[in-house]
Amino acid sequence: MISEQLQQIKSSLPEKVTLVAVSKTKPVEDLLEAYNTGQRIFGENKVQEMCDKHDLLPKDIEWHFIGHLQTNKVKYIAPFVALIHGVDSLKLLQEINKQGEKIKRVIPVLLQFYIAKEETKFGLSLAEAIEVLESKDAFHYCEIRGIMGMASFTENEDQVKAEFAQLKSHFDLIKSTYFKNDAFFSIVSMGMSGDYKLAIEEGSTMVRIGSSIFGSR
Ligand SMILES: *Cc1c(COP(=O)(O)O)cnc(C)c1O
């Protein structure tokens, strides 16, 4: 079941779009089934759960942290995390850099933007992101690879499209202003089970899909 869902979704994605299989709350058996179908990138949103699964599962898995990350927990994932999607403050970026420096590992991150019209979503405004970006050269142990965002949870497709388009325009602006010659700044992480097709139409390069692969939580 998982393997069929996964294969179906994968075959529907354009080649340049990376799939993060969001496995939060799911048992390691489910992740192994996806792994045995060829999936190597998994997304988790709890530090403890990601560490436990990292310990138990094959070492060639890329672990993406997609949740809200508390500064006091960065140290637990710093040694192995492949990408932190949710950097939403200068303070968090400073802590990631500090933990990276301790272990001499450059940690890849995305800046999370607030694009939805909902109070509950975390993320930076464009002005706040610019403040972070102005000091980015001080951070030698984290590499900003792109940006991430979540659209409003609504049936209104026009609204969702507009929010994704806004995120993509933030990416383009930041790329041309701060990372013009940096090929590593290339990721637009947007799109989940309910809206990834719209996200891809609007320029997503990385989709985070959970329930359509593993079933509802
Ligand atoms: C849970 C989660 C997803 C996946 O959501 P689905 O609707 O199950 O695909 C994607 N991104 C983030 C940040 C999440 O927390």
User: Distance, CA 44 to ligand 1 centroid (Å)?
Assistant: 9
Asked if pLDDT for residue 119 goes beyond 80, the answer is no
Where does the pLDDT of residue 105 fall: very low under 50, low under 70, confident under 90, or very high at 90 and above? very high
**Both structure tokens of 39:** 């999936």
pLDDT score of 84 = 98
Q: What is the set of domains in the chain, with CATH numbers?
A: 2-214 (3.20.20.10)
The pTM (predicted TM-score) of the whole model is 0.97
Q: Which atom of ligand 1 is nearest to the CA of 20?
A: 10
What does each C-alpha distance from 134 to 5, 126, 131, 167, 177 come to in angstroms? 42, 12, 5, 19, 10
pLDDT score of 121 = 67
Q: Which atom of ligand 1 is nearest to the CA of 66?
A: 13
Distance CA 68, CA 167 (A): 19
192 within ligand 1 shell (Cβ under 6 A): yes
Region 11-20: mean pLDDT is: 97
Asked if pLDDT for residue 159 goes beyond 90, the answer is yes
User: Distance, CA 137 to ligand 1 centroid (Å)?
Assistant: 31
Asked if pLDDT for residue 56 goes beyond 90, the answer is yes
Rounded to the nearest integer, the mean pLDDT of the chain is 96
Region 86-102: mean pLDDT is: 97
Instruction: Give the position of tokens 């799911």.
Output: 26
Measured N-to-C along each axis, helices 28-36 and 47-56 cross at an angle, to the nearest 10 degrees, of: 60
CA 193 to chain centre: 14
DSSP string over 129-170: HHHHHHTGGG-SSEEEEEEEEE--SSS-HHHHHHHHHHHHHH
**Both structure tokens of 191:** 């799109």
**Both structure tokens of 67:** 């949740």
